[in-house]
Chain A
Amino acid sequence: MAKRGAGTNSDQLHGTLDMLVLKTLQHGPMHGYAIAVRLEQLSKEVLQVEEGSLYPALYRMEARGALSSEWGVTDTGRRARFYRLTKAGKAQLAEETESWARITAAVQSVLES
């Protein structure tokens, strides 16, 4: 097994990516490509290096139980794997949104004082 890039930066990136994926999926199931496109619109940063790194993230979140997936058919009639939020995923999103809000509020109050 090759050594993967480990360390704080990458962990943060993972965390951010996970949260963005959860956010993206909150309005309904999407396939991987659609998620990538949406993420691109939200932030060019996250998938800057390689788009494919989205997939290991999806698999990890699925293994954790935040997402579930099933094969479906796209608008253009092709077979694709669709991801949807699970209950646990929704809870995680809510929690992370809240803590994010708390942190930004705290930072804001520091900056404004």
Chain B
Amino acid sequence: MALLSRIRALFRRDAITDEISEELQFHIDARAEEWRRRGVPAAEAKRRARDRFGNVARLRDEGYDVRGGGVMETIWQDVTFAVRLWRRQPGFALTAVLTLAISIGAVTAIFSVAEATFLRPLPFPNPEQLVRPGVHVPRPDGTTSRPTPSLDDFRHWQSRSDVFSQVAASTNVSGGAIIDGAAAERIALRGISEDYFAIYGVQLLLGRAFTRDEMHAAEAPVVILGHAFWQRHFGGRTDVVGQVLRYDNKAATIVGVAPAHFESTTPVFVPLRLPLEEQGRRGLGRPGFIVGRLQPGLSIPDAEARLTSAMPAGERTSMTSLLDSARTSSRTTVYVLLAAVGFILLIACVNVAGLLLGRSAARQAELAVRASLGAGRFRLVRQLLTESVLLALVASLAGLAMAWVGLDALVANIPLAISVNAPVAINMTVLLVTLALVVPTAVLFGLFPALRLSKSNLTQPLSRAGRQDAGGLSRRGGRWLIGVEVSLAVILVAGAGLMLRSFAKISAVELGIATEHVLTLDVVPLVTVPSAQADYYTALLAQLRTLPGVVAAGAADGFPLDGSTSYSRATVDGQPVNINPLRMLPGYAEALGLPLTAGRYPQPGEATAALVNVAGAQKMFNGAPAVGRRFSYGQSGEIFTVVGIVANSRHGGPFGETLDWAFIPFRPTEASVRSAAPLTIVIRTAGNAPGLGERVRQVAHSLGPKVLIERVRSGEEWLSRTVVTPRRRMVLLTLLGSLGLVLTLIGVFGMTAYAVARRTQEIGIRMVFGAQARQVVGSVVRDTLLPVSLGIVAGLIGAGLSTRAIQSFLFETEPIDIPTFAAVAVVLLVTGCLAAWLPARRAARVNPVDALRS
């Protein structure tokens, strides 16, 4: 290893020079000896030998350069020199390092997200073989439907070893399971088929997977524990296999524990068991998710053809690649974020180039002295490059630290679905890519000023005449740098502006529900008879209404903002109508803030009084007056009377549609008691009610039966959940846009300061001849404004071409939104002026005499 031996040589300098000295001395002695043998006196012989030999010290140094750590040593010199310079100008060093570090941190963090969601979304062996099969079935009217496959479809696919090597099915068990204990807890259950772990190449941590026999409903209950659940409930004990987990009054044998990195959010896996009558029915959503692993080498079209040929005429099978769909869903977001941080990195590089250029103005004299003492151009460039590479390395370390610290916060707020199986981490790939990105950019931004500087006439700065060569920005690279930087910033800020405007439009959407001062919680008493449940809710609501600050309280088996619908059939005047029913207890509409447009709200004790909303009334009664009308609903054909009509509201948030709701009285049944399906209690308060959640909890627990309380949320929380992805997009892009703007401010400031520093003498002369401070400031600002304006124009064109990339993120906002673009131009112009005005003002305060003397 030549490099290693050179580095070692750094610490063995004496040993190497001693060796060289000894060798050279031997030569001189041998030559002197030769002269002496020919009869020359000893002293004279020595002198002649030395004269003949040349400059021993120089030859020794030259020899050391070749033999020893010459190059390494000069690099080391350059490094210590750079560090000394930075310590003398901490402002420069700090700005440059911070600018780069922040952008490198941003690039690293965003790239690690991209790596997890886009490059490695399915961290399993041969993920390209994984497909989701689906069936297409013709409807009588000639169109085709795509019902969810049935369990029989799944078993058929499992038997097709000519197509699949493995097939696995899974489904979320609705209602989950209730684990009774000191505090009752509802957990999610995931029903899985026997190959569910094997198809992903996942080994169980403990125990075994389910067997095919265990899929039969008659078999004894068995469970596999999720890793986090196992840690929480069993303290990670390894002897759990064979023990019993009690839930829903069942005792299930634990047969295995899933590993930490696989579906860690699933608490308990159970065998996928469907009632016999459901097994052949498509479109039930059970099993919900089927994944197949294609035989190696088999293409999707071939696999589809093989399966379709075995189906009844008209039916066919289609497949989607799991990997492709995982990538498609994240592609746009990942690309946009990468582009944005790429721009940030570019701006930061331009900035640092500008800073280096600016500082080099102050260093010209120093460099000229060094050149005149014999430093070659290459040597000077290398010194400047060493400095910028060092800068990049320090900044990379700081940036990586920032990325590492900020990664969790970023992941928690990223507008992407991140699979629990592919967690985001700064891994080797990320580090390598960061390095591959940073080092060349460092060389680039270092090379630009270095070449520019070393090219200039180096003796000139030493002479007085050199001072008059006071080119403004225009004659230096600064103008280009400013233009490039501003145009990049315009694109970033335009993207951020569009997201802000879009989000403002989302926020302005009228929901029809008053979400302020609303608290909701899902409550279910763990009782065994329907009447006990009804009594409990009645008592709970009565108690809640007595709490201070509470103005209304009600309950229903759903919440308009949670996005689920359950259309079912009602009958009006003998005609069937599809409506969306919500089972409620009186007080619900008042608590939600749904205003009456006709009639009245139902009162407690009215067993058949229903509310409909305007859209529901329209649909059910075709615009005729609805109050007082009757309709029947449900299997037993209960009759309800409409007592009031409430205003429409959007379903599931600002993006939702207006649903046709019918609010009918809640009546517990055997089934609802058995599944412990909760009601959502809605409480409206007069103002802010701190601590209300805790008081409500106490009330709910104090009424006798054991109670399960879940999803305690404020109305605002519900609302923000419905817009969480647009909000995250807006926040993230606004952050990146602001970062770009701040960096541009720093950059333009730095380069203008550089130009001003070069013009100090000229400014002094002009002021001696009577120029006013105002004129000096004006000329400096004008000098900067030209590239800024050009940058804005170029940036707006760039933005016009590129904002289509985020079109799908925009809500009622065009990608080329004139008001937004105009605002962006103004913001950049003001920023540019400010950045130029600060150093200009300083220049105008210069004492002309000092300026001339400097």
Say whether, besides A33-B27, A33-B30, A51-B31, A56 and B59 are in contact (CB < 8 Å).
yes
* Cα(A11)–Cα(B76), bound, Å: 29
CA distance A79 to B26 in the complex (A): 8
Selected from B27, B29, B65, the residue in CB contact (under 8 A) with A52 is: B27
Cross-chain contact B27 with A36 (CB below 8 angstroms):
yes
Q: Which residue of A lies closest to B52 (CB)?
A: A51
A90 to B140, CA, bound (A): 90
Chain A residues with CB below 8 A from B74, complex form: 1
What are the residues of chain A within 8 A of B31 when measuring CB–CB?
33, 51
Cross-interface CB contact of A55 among B24, B29, B52, B375, cutoff 8 Å:
B24
What is the CA–CA distance of A2 and B53 in the complex, to the nearest angstrom? Answer: 20
Answer whether residue A49 sits at the interface, using C-beta atoms and an 8 A cutoff. yes
Q: B63 — which chain A residues lie within 8 A by C-beta?
A: 55-56, 59
How far apart are A48's CB and chain B's nearest CB, in angstroms? 10
Is there a chain B Cβ closer than 8 Å to A29's Cβ? no
Contacts of B26 in A (CB 8 A): 31-33, 78-81
B23 interfacial by beta-carbon distance below 8 Å:
yes
Cβ-defined contact, B375 with A53, below 8 A: no
CA–CA, A51 and B28, complex, Å: 9
Contact A32 B23, beta carbon cutoff 8 Å: yes
CA distance A53 to B65 in the complex (A): 14
Pairwise interchain contact A32-B379, C-beta atoms closer than 8 A? no
Which of B23, B27, B55, B374 lies in contact with A1, CB distance below 8 A?
B374
Given A32-B27, A60-B66, residue A55 in contact with residue B376 (CB < 8 A)? no
Q: What B residues does A32 contact at CB under 8 A?
A: 23, 26-27
Interface residues of B in 55-74 (CB under 8 A from A): 55-56, 59, 62-63, 65-67, 74
Chain B residue with minimal CB distance to A1?
B379
Per-residue B-contact encoding for A1-17, CB less than 8 Å = 1, 0 else:
11100000000000000
Q: Is B20 an interface residue (CB 8 A)?
A: yes
Query: Contact string, B540-581, partner A, CB cutoff 8 A, digits 1/0?
Result: 000000000000000000000000000000000000000000
Please pick, from B29, B67, B374, B379, the residue contacting A59 in the complex, using a CB distance under 8 A: B67
* Bound CA span A85–B849, Å: 69
**B44 contacts the other chain (Cβ, under 8 Å)?**
no
Chain A binding surface SS class: helix
| B770 on interface, CB distance cutoff 8 Å | no
If A32-B23, A36-B27, A55-B24 touch, does A49 touch B66 (CB 8 Å cutoff)? Answer: no
A interface residues, how many (CB within 8 angstroms)? 22
Q: Is A112 an interface residue (CB 8 A)?
A: no
**Cα separation A56 to B375 with both chains bound (whole Å):** 20
Q: Verify A79–B67 contact, CB threshold 8 A.
A: no
B66 touches A52 (CB 8 A): no
A111 at the A/B interface (Cβ < 8 Å)?
no
In the complex, A66→B31 CA distance in Å? Answer: 26
Bound complex: CA of A36 vs CA of B59, how far in Å?
Answer: 15
Is A45 on the interface with B (CB-CB < 8 A)?
no
Give Cα A55–Cα B63 distance, bound, in whole angstroms: 7
The answer to whether B23 and A51 have CB atoms under 8 Å apart is no
Kindly state whether residue A107 has any CB partner on chain B within 8 Å. no
* Given A1-B374, A59-B67, A63-B67, A51 and B54 contact (CB-CB distance below 8 Å): yes
In Å, the complex CA distance between A49 and B54 comes to: 8
Complex: how many Å from CA A32 to CA B63?
Answer: 13
Residues in B neighbouring A51, C-beta threshold 8 A: 27, 31, 52-54
Which residues does chain A contribute within 8 Å of B30, judged by CB atoms?
A: 33, 78
| Residues from chain A with Cβ under 8 Å of B20 in the complex | 55
Interface presence of B22 (CB below 8 A): yes
Within 8 Å by CB of B54, from A2, A53, A59, lies A53
Alpha-carbon distance between A56 and B68 when the two chains are bound, in angstroms: 12
Instruction: List which B10-64 residues lie within 8 A (CB) of chain A.
Output: 19-20, 22-24, 26-27, 29-31, 52-56, 59, 62-63
Also in contact, A52 and B53, with CB within 8 A (given A1-B374, A33-B30, A59-B67): yes
Could you say which residues of chain B place their CB within 8 Å of the CB of A56?
59, 62-63, 66
Nearest CB of chain A from residue B72's CB, rounded to whole Å: 14
How distant is B438 from chain A, measured CB to nearest CB, in Å? 29
Closest to A34 in B: B30
User: Pick the contact of B23 from A3, A63, A80 — CB < 8 Å?
Assistant: A80
- Chain B residues closer than 8 Å to A60, beta-carbon distance: 66
Chain B binding site: helix, strand, loop or mixed by DSSP? Answer: helix
Within 8 A of B (CB), among A67-105: 78-81
Q: How far is the CB of B501 from chain A (nearest CB, A)?
A: 59
CB closest residue in chain A, given B68: A59
Residues of A contacting B56 in the complex (Cβ-Cβ under 8 angstroms)? 52
- Separation in Å of the A56 CB from the closest CB of chain B? 5
A73 to chain B, nearest CB (A): 11
Report the separation of the CA atoms of residues A53 and B62 in the bound assembly, to the nearest whole angstrom.
10
Give CA–CA (A63, B16) in the complex, Å.
14
- What's the minimum C-beta distance from B52 to chain A, rounded to whole angstroms? 5
Contact B24 A1 (CB under 8 A): no
CB distance from A5 to the nearest CB of B (A): 12
Residues of chain B within 8 A (CB-CB) of A62 are: 67
**B residues within 8 A CB of A79?**
22, 26
Question: A52 and B376: CB pair below 8 A?
Answer: no
Query: Does B375 contact A50, Cβ atoms closer than 8 Å?
Result: no
Contact A1 B376 (CB under 8 A): yes
Q: Measured between alpha carbons, how far is A50 from B54 in the docked complex, in Å?
A: 5
Closest CB in chain B relative to A41 CB, distance in Å: 13
A31 to chain B, nearest CB (A): 7
* In the complex, chain A residues whose CB is within 8 Å of the CB of B374: 1-3
Q: How far is the CB of B18 from chain A (nearest CB, A)?
A: 12
User: What residues on A are CB-neighbors of B66 within 8 Å?
Assistant: 56, 59-60, 63
The residues of A that contact B65 with a CB separation of less than 8 Å are 1
- Give A32 to B56 CA distance when docked, in angstroms: 15
Chain A residue at minimum C-beta to C-beta distance from B60: A55
- Inter-chain contacts of A52 with B (CB < 8 A): 24, 27, 53-56, 59
For the complex formed, measure the closest distance between the CB of A74 and the CB atoms of chain B, giving whole angstroms.
8
CA distance A22 to B56 in the complex (A): 24
Give the distance in Å from the alpha carbon of A3 to the alpha carbon of B53 in the complex. 21
Contact flags B368-384 to A (C-beta < 8 A → 1, else 0): 00000011100100000
Bound Cα distance A63, B71 (Å): 13
**Complex: chain B residue closest to A81, CB-CB:** B23
Residue of B nearest to A37 (CB): B34
Could you tell me the distance in whole angstroms from the C-beta of B247 to the nearest C-beta in chain A? 75
Q: Which residue of B lies closest to A52 (CB)?
A: B54
Hey, which chain B residues are within 8 Å of A63, CB to CB? 66-67
Task: Give chain B residues whose Cβ lies under 8 Å from the Cβ of A78.
Answer: 26, 29-30
Which of chain A's residues has its CB closest to B51's CB? A50
Q: A1-B74, A52-B55, A78-B29 are in contact. List 8 more A-B contacts (CB 8 A).
A: A31-B26, A50-B52, A51-B52, A55-B23, A56-B59, A62-B67, A78-B26, A81-B19
A-binding residues in B (CB < 8 A): 19-20, 22-24, 26-27, 29-31, 52-56, 59, 62-63, 65-67, 74, 374-376, 379
A-B contact pairs, 21 of them (CB 8 A): A1-B375, A1-B376, A2-B374, A3-B374, A3-B376, A32-B26, A33-B31, A50-B52, A50-B54, A51-B31, A52-B24, A52-B53, A52-B59, A56-B59, A56-B63, A56-B66, A60-B66, A62-B67, A63-B66, A78-B30, A79-B22
Which 5 A-B pairs rank lowest in CB-CB distance, beginning with the nearest?
A50-B54, A52-B54, A59-B66, A33-B30, A52-B59
